[in-house]
Structure 1
């Protein structure tokens, strides 16, 4: 049976870490639609490589305007770096690199090389000065087109960048979509969940992988 759910956060909901439902909407944990995980790479003011593990973003756009959209907190290194440099790279890591992906979170001091210290390999981009990550089988180079706060006074800001160059591993170019997705081994961020009826929480966050691809149209 489908239930109607008010979007107002209920009083009985308890945070399992301070500020959880200020940084994220409680509905993020009710709806729990997985998003693909990616790495946003930039350079800090001192030139050190920066890496931001994220799952809030998407790819969109028409001919000649294919773009990446990011949602970034205004107190993050990546936010400041993009405003200063006007460019970034997006890389899609495979599941086997998840330890390195999460290591980028720990290595976030101003002088840290967040890519190599996490165990990844730096790779030069072709059209921007932001670094790429060699282990990402798909790398997109992006130049800032526009940005704005999600809402007035929101700490979350939307950034859209036109994709200026693309690099892909040959295995990720397989014409068969099943073979291609198996080669990519993309990870998805599966949030911990909240029962909106009771406030009961189940977690922590998990990593999801595609387990099935169906070809529903004739070839």
Structure 2
């Protein structure tokens, strides 16, 4: 059995973020529907849910579903960017080694240390500029697959606002389509149809 995080509306029209014990994602949806919930979104897959048969996995029960979800939202982009940046060891490693050597030999405020520090900062800024859009898009696809419509809408609105500032191949049509999907998934069908009408006109 697993403990899946979910977000749903109860019979009193309150938004509930909690966990449900089930054997699969499909079973989780069935159990929640039988309990009278509506607008159900099971957030976890089997890979990310708590395995109740595993002692180490059960330690996550210390945090509530809402606390864990908030932490994931705050850290997922940063963690993905850090993992991607760490792969670029040739440039990153070389700059860090030369920076440390120059500080040890010439001091923190030496010209060579400042130049290398500037190159490192410039490389990090270039990396963020180049990688943030596609990393966010990957997160958006993941949110779409697991029907986390609120998260999908936040990501796509950010990309729509800042698209011109970043290096990205994400088309305007794709952003409109994903935003319309997010709105429809949250029950805002009129807004979704109005947004999707723009795509129909451009065909």
Q: Same fold (TM over 0.5)?
A: no
Structure with more of its chain in helix, by fraction = 2
Higher relative contact order (CA 8 A, sep 6+): 1
TM-score under structure 1 normalisation? 0.23
